[in-house]
Structure 1
Amino acid sequence: MSTRYKVGDTVRWNSEAGVIHGTVTKVHLHDVEFMGRQRHCSEDEPQYEVKSAKTGHLAMHREHALHKE
């Protein structure tokens, strides 16, 4: 079963720096360029733009990489 996140949800994800906490800022359902790279998204496999609560940096992850807080 899949969890769907929405804008404003608080989530966490793993990175090289450890566990990062942040907020979903956008949900992408169609292919998009993000930080100079093409990201493949669809309604079946959306990607989530997330903002770190600590640094304010943006990242984009697939649903399986995020965990709801």
Structure 2
Amino acid sequence: MGISKGDTVHWNTSQGRTTGKAVEKRESAFTFEGQKFNASKDEPYWIVESSKTGAKAAHKESSLDAR
């Protein structure tokens, strides 16, 4: 997919489409804000930061759009 740290990315939320930046890539299981994620090299996750609210969240790389 080609997302790099600092890239502007877009993702869907229950409130609609959100824009933010890619903060950190995770390629192994991790816990973020009390939630467990099973990241791997084949299915990495990104910690992303919303441009609008500054809130951070974890999303599968495949759910992010870097266009």
TM range, smaller chain: over 0.9
The equivalent residue for 2:9 is 11
Equivalenced residue count is: 67
**Distance in 2 between residues matched to 1:68 and 1:49, nearest whole Å:** 14
Relative to the length of structure 1, the TM-score reads 0.91
Relative to the length of structure 2, the TM-score reads 0.93
Matches within 5 A, 1:20-39: 20-39=18-37
Runs of 4+ in 1 over 6 A off after TM superposition: none
Amino acid of the structure 2 residue aligned with 1:67: D
Please report the RMSD computed on the Cα atoms of aligned residues, expressed in angstroms.
0.9
Shift of 1:4: 3.0
Return the match for 2:43 from 24, 45, 49.
45
